[in-house]
Amino acid sequence: MTPLAGKHALVTGAARGIGAAIAERLIADGATVTLLGRTQASLSALAQRLGAGVVGTVVCDITSSEQVAQAIGQIPPVQLLINNAGQAESAPVARTTDEQWARMLAVNLTGTFYCSRAVLPSMLSAGWGRIVSVASTASLRGYPYVAAYAAAKHGVLGLTRSLALEVAGKGITVNAVCPGFTDTDMLRDSVANIVARTGRSEAEARASLSAFNPQGRFVSPADVAAAVSWLCAPDAAAMTGLAVPISGGEVM
């Protein structure tokens, strides 16, 4: 079955991890995909692996409204926007710098706003669209040492709910998926940080994070991609304003 046949998706932060898995799943479900990221080499490598379903790659810094507008202007109209680009940094609140705070908001929240705003005119004109933002369980609860990241992800959820209400009668749905600790490069960076800060072994650090998931495992990028594809499908037309936890029961 190809429920997304004829739909064009833009996936931000597409080069690796969750973004790459989402792009692959959307193509498998019939969509064509434009890959957006910060490094052409990694985008090109993924495009080569995914094949004909990729219609283009775009290098863009989503924290720049000008770059986002330019990127959207050079690709086909977007029916499916996947706001996946993000970044996590950790520090106690007392040692979080102004630059760290601004960076977490810019990458995780402001970039999501810029991309969503940029695709809205074509979706409104067509009377159909799907916007799915990859938030985090950190949009639903607090975690120590990542206050800036959690604040930004809470903002993504507020943006999602407000925009969903604005366009609810216009054929457009707006949702967020909220993964728990997911087996990606970002997780590996977090493990390395724990090892460096605490002296624990890598295995102990990984176990401390997987313990948040009642299933006792890390979420896979494919788990997240499956939920995103479902929210994009025509049959999910009644699903809007949702924050869907993908966390093995960590958040209920």
DSSP class of residue 220 equals P
DSSP class of residue 137 equals G
Q: Is 143 a catalytic residue?
A: no
Task: Report the C-alpha dihedral over residues 48, 53, 55, 58, rounded to 10 degrees.
Answer: -60
Which residue among the candidates 114, 143, 145, 149 is catalytic per the annotation? 149
b/e map 170-191, b = 16+ CB within 10 Å:
eebbbbbbbbbbbbbebbeebb
First to last CA, the chain: 31
Q: Give counts: helices (H), strands (E), the chain.
A: 9, 7
Q: Which two tokens stand for residue 122?
A: 């074509």
Query: In whole angstroms, how far apart are CA 241 and each of 58, 115, 228?
Result: 28, 17, 14
The residues annotated as belonging to the active site are 149
